[in-house]
Amino acid sequence: MSLQKKIILTGDRPTGPLHLGHYVGSLKNRVALQHDYEQYVMLADVQALTDNFENPEKVRASVLEVVLDYLSVGIDPAVSTIFLQSMISPIAELTIFYLNLVSVARLERNPTVKDEIRQKGFGLQVSAGFLCYPVSQAADITIFGAHLVPVGQDQLPMIEQTAELVRKFNRIYGDTLVEPEALVPETAGRLPGIDGKAKMGKSLGNAIYLSDSADEVKRKVMTMYTDPEHLHVADPGKVEGNMVFAYLDIFDDRVDEVAELKAHYQRGGLGDVVLKKRLIEVLNAMLDPIRARRALFAQDPAQLLEIIKKGTEKANNTAHATLARVKEAMKIDYF
């Protein structure tokens, strides 16, 4: 396949199954673009260890789960390269080189990192590895010469910092690295959690997973945050901040009907249960084929390992070629 542009997906940390936030944030773009670009899909196990270093078993056990999620949504290993971050040593080398080009103060200003430090309650005890993971992520992207990186809105500061590092490297050592651009999906905002919090996340316990059964989706939607003041069916309800409508806006393609439901809800006479039942139907209709593919791939764990092995071998070849050019530019290609 000869393409002018490449695409690298900064990947997902294997710390558990992927959820709907991942799906609307970047997974849909990965599936849609894989036949038009040379695509690398990373299992970011090194990044996962930045805040799970005391629980490596969790990361290891999650690798196959994430691969199952990738395959179930339609990422095709015949055209997409799925690989393990920890097995690509040039990423670590390039990270070391990049650390000389960025200040601690700049890392501390990264909005995504600041948010995660606050959410995880690290405070001053944040590890150097966690603080510096934007640098590692920059190496993930640039070691493959990526032009485009599909990300959610919350990851834009990471791509901006990567671009800064590339520009600084090229200014000092010569035009060597590709400056990437972010590709943000139409549903650019973060998918909120079912509890109404701004972010859906595994650690927050407010996520609907791609691997959830139909019954589990039903249970979670029925607990979803709506309008706490909408106590009776006849009462007028608020659409803003109502998670059922937030999800219908994203997942229900019957736009006109959803607009009518909003108007009905606002004037009163429409209950939350009716809305939740509709959302359950919409989500399960979307997830049913994903569940079916997941069950099929799950029958052959050896096949999953072979997919990762082959992808990692290919990724290694690409990464070593980039690292050789980097070392030549930095005048450290001694022999």
The upper half-sphere exposure of residue 298, i.e. CA atoms within 13 Å in the direction of its Cβ, equals: 12
CA gap 316, 323 in Å, rounded:
10
Give the residue-averaged pLDDT of 214-243.
Answer: 95
**Does residue 220 sit in the same domain as residue 273?**
yes
36 closest CA partner among 82, 80, 83, 81 = 80
In a domain, 151, yes or no: yes
Give the residue-averaged pLDDT of 309-330.
Answer: 97
In a domain, 239, yes or no: yes
pLDDT tens-digit map of 64-80: 999 999 999 999 999 99
In a domain, 203, yes or no: no
Give the residue-averaged pLDDT of 16-23.
Answer: 88
**Does residue 85 sit in the same domain as residue 146?**
yes
162 closest CA partner among 185, 176, 181, 189 = 181
**Does residue 73 sit in the same domain as residue 169?**
yes
- Give yes or no for residue 187 having a pLDDT over 70: no
CATH of the domain at 69: 3.40.50.620
- Give yes or no for residue 216 having a pLDDT over 60: yes
* Confidence band, pLDDT 50/70/90 cuts, at residue 126: confident
291 closest CA partner among 186, 229, 179, 213 = 213
Q: pLDDT higher for 184 or 104?
A: 104
Q: What is the pLDDT of residue 74?
A: 95
Q: What is the pLDDT of residue 2?
A: 45
In a domain, 199, yes or no: no
Q: What is the pLDDT of residue 33?
A: 87
Q: What is the pLDDT of residue 200?
A: 81
Return the CA Rg of the chain.
22
**Does residue 39 sit in the same domain as residue 123?**
yes
> How many percent of the chain have pLDDT more than 90?
69
In a domain, 202, yes or no: no
In this structure, what token pair is assigned to residue 172? 């000092």
User: 């200003």: which residue's tokens?
Assistant: 109
From 34-48, 84-98, 112-126, the region with the lowest mean pLDDT: 112-126
Q: Give the list of residues 6+ apart from residue 329 with CB closer than 8 angstroms, or none.
A: 173, 174, 176
The DSSP code sequence of 208-274 is -BTT--HHHHHHHHHT----TT--STTS----TT-HHHHHHHHH---HHHHHHHHHHHHHS---HHH
**Does residue 247 sit in the same domain as residue 324?**
no
In a domain, 209, yes or no: no
CA gap 286, 162 in Å, rounded:
34
**Does residue 149 sit in the same domain as residue 116?**
yes
Q: What range does the domain containing 273 cover?
A: 214-294
Q: Whole-prediction pTM value?
A: 0.86
In a domain, 197, yes or no: no
**Does residue 133 sit in the same domain as residue 186?**
yes
Total domains in the chain come to 2
In this structure, what token pair is assigned to residue 182? 């972010």
CA gap 72, 77 in Å, rounded:
11
**Does residue 177 sit in the same domain as residue 281?**
no
pLDDT tens-digit map of 160-173: 999 999 999 999 99
